[in-house]
Amino acid sequence: MEYLLSAVRCVLLLETPAERFEDRDLLRFAIALMQQARANEYCWYVSEAEEARLASEAPCVPRLLAGDVGESRKLLLTLLYRSYQATLGIGEDARPEAFAKMRPKVLREAVQAALVEDGDLRTRAQRIPRLGSISDETSRKVARQYEVNPYPRWTGLRRPPPGEEKRRLETFFGNGGLAFMDEPYDVLIAGCGTGHQAVHWALNAKDAQVTAVDLSASALAYASKMAERYGAKNVEFQQGDIQNLPSMPGVAGRFHIIECLGVLHHMADPYAGWRALIDCLAPRGKLLVGLYSATARRIVTELKSDPAFPGPGCDERALRKFRRMLLDRPAEQPGGQLKLGPDFYSTSEFRDLAVHVSERCVGVAEIRAFLADNSLAFRGFWIDQAHLDRFHRQFPAEPWPGRLEAWEEFEAANPHTFAAMYNFWCERA
């Protein structure tokens, strides 16, 4: 589908006469393609011929705003390849009301809707409370990545039935260890990104006050919008570095539940971040940690030695070129299998998957050592039932949740088990 749509986009730019855009069906299709490009954050490959045409036919904004249809067509074609901000900036000319005279109407409405959304997110980002400054250099790099490419841009959420979270946690802690959930309690989503976890918790646990922290104000703005859309009122979003949380007033020892998924392995020292979270746990608090598996991510790690690898944190043009090379590779060749997963199909997801600015994978042995050194008890992997069934077939005498030594042996025999990270619950021993 990507090959088809990107080829059609190329034809629209390079070969389609201007008068063809008078066909309303073609125009509506091109607008839909424009919105698809916006949704996937312009991740499709752009040829040199396309780059040259875009450079030579940039829309003249004053004539565009005055209602020139030819300039509207140029804007439409440009927005098949580039963001609104890259095309129009964020000045007075990019205000939705500035486009009141733009023709045709169907394009004007699409452009104005996008500008309204972008303006709302910028306003929300400016209003996010800040927990001190972000001084760690690696954290600053990661923050810059997610400011440009907030991740993930989720659009839907299953509304959980009442009490679902408590029933899920009973698997790991039993009902007796969750008495605090019968009265008001505090939840921390550390590294909440665009807010999917946080909004889910807020909707599911009406007695919980959810605090969601992230490095990126852009990601938090998106989270704020989605919380408002779903009516989640018991969640607060804050910008900050989780390494600094224990030093913030009223944070140390406060949270009954902390979830930190896909965050620690992007820090300069994942274990320093983990220790900071332990300091934020209330007595008998529960901690869900997600860490990249060195075994499961071997494909991505080895890809970094590929001559074509553009380097961590590469620019958008290099990312598109590298991604297209992987798209062209057969699935059995190094990196070719990445296109079989959903994270391949937008700029923010592909950057997070393959060219992140900072990544450190770990193994079960490291996790086991950290748990022991910090007096934490392992309470079980949050993993799909098929993997659990295979584990118990291989280790039928192993009681729940299984010794980490047994899980290490199991992963060696089943290296894709933790492709979605080591997600596991723990608490103070």
Q: What is the DSSP string of 113-147?
A: HHHHHHHHHHHHHHHS-B-S----HHHHHHHHHHH
What is the C-alpha separation between 258 and 240, in angstroms, rounded? 16
pLDDT at site 59: 95
Q: Whole-angstrom Cα distance, residue 284 to residue 273?
A: 20
Instruction: Flag residues of the chain having pLDDT under 50.
Output: none
Question: Tell me, what's the pLDDT at 366?
Answer: 98
Provide the b/e sequence for 69-104 (b: ≥16 CB within 10 Å). Answer: bebbbbbbbbbbbbbbeebbeeeeebebebbeebeb
Torsion of CA 117, 228, 148, 106, to 10 degrees: -20
Query: CB-side exposure of 356: number of CA atoms within 13 Å?
Result: 25
Query: In the prediction, which pLDDT does 330 show?
Result: 95
Tell me what pLDDT residue 94 has: 86
Bridge-based pairing of strands 376-381 and 422-428 is: antiparallel
**The residue count for the chain:** 429
Q: Which helix (H) or strand (E) holds 180?
A: none
Residue 353: what pLDDT?
A: 95
Compute the radius of gyration of the chain from its Cα atoms: 24
* Strand order across the beta sheet in which 422-428 lies: 235-239, 208-214, 185-190, 255-261, 281-291, 422-428, 376-381
Specify the pairing of strand 208-214 against strand 185-190. parallel
| Angle CA 290–291–293, to nearest 5 | 130
Domains of the chain: 2-125 (no CATH), 137-295+359-428 (3.40.50.150), 298-354 (no CATH)
Q: Is 186 within 8 Å of 208 (Cβ atoms)?
A: yes
d(CA 397, CA 376): 24
User: Given this model, what pLDDT does residue 9 score?
Assistant: 98
